[in-house]
Structure 1
Amino acid sequence: MAGTKPMNSYFVPGYGISRTVIQNEIRYHCGPDAIVRPYTHQGRDGFLVTTSGPPLTKEQIADLRESSRDFEEKQAATSGFVNQPVQVGNRGRRSVS
């Protein structure tokens, strides 16, 4: 197609970045055609970003981490199960004969 920019893919380490947050914000940072998916590169979990726009800057990655921390804190506050035991059932031990 005439005028179509080439797509570039690159790895973003996932440490501290919520999948929900990066998927919701990637188009804001990298353009309307940007997509992101979970990816493992050299044993490290993260995300594969594909876009014809500019790559994420260090500052944008820091913003994603901060947004992710806020998102996770809100999720934890609404779930009510942060660092609390969760009853999963009372199954007695079976003896093996």
Structure 2
Amino acid sequence: MAQNSYFVPGFGISRTVIQNEIRYHCGPDAIVRPYTHQGRDGFLVTTAGPALTKAQIQDLKDASREYEEKQAQRGDDTTELFVNKPVPVGQKIRRSG
């Protein structure tokens, strides 16, 4: 069976959630990886199975929201929830060559 690849915009979808659930939605051979298409961050899904439906994408967004909320609560004992709080990372300086 032929493999199909397509882009899924990543807004509202957690990488952890889509990687854990893609086989459930698209079949056991489905793989997903981070991908940028026309300047938009998201995921490249490769599968011989069916493409994700709008309802499945919404399910992934809902599951991602729940996952992010649980992750935010795990890190803090505060009652206020701040999803997608900034995380410090090392800066790479690009040199033009």
TM-score range, shorter chain: 0.7 to 0.9
AA partner of residue 38 (structure 1) = P
Q: Does residue 62 in structure 1 map to residue 58 in structure 2?
A: yes
Of the three residues 9, 27, 32, the one matched with 1:36 is 32
Distance across 1 between alignment mates of 2:22 and 2:44 = 11
TM-score by length of 1: 0.79
Identity of aligned residues (%): 75
Aligned length: 79
**Mapping 1:1-97, distance limit 5 Å:** 5-80=1-76
Name the SS of the counterpart of 2:65 in structure 1. Answer: helix
Distance across 1 between alignment mates of 2:74 and 2:40 = 30
Unaligned runs of 5+ in 2: 83-97
Unaligned runs of 5+ in 1: 84-97
Moved over 6 A (4+): none
AA partner of residue 5 (structure 2) = S
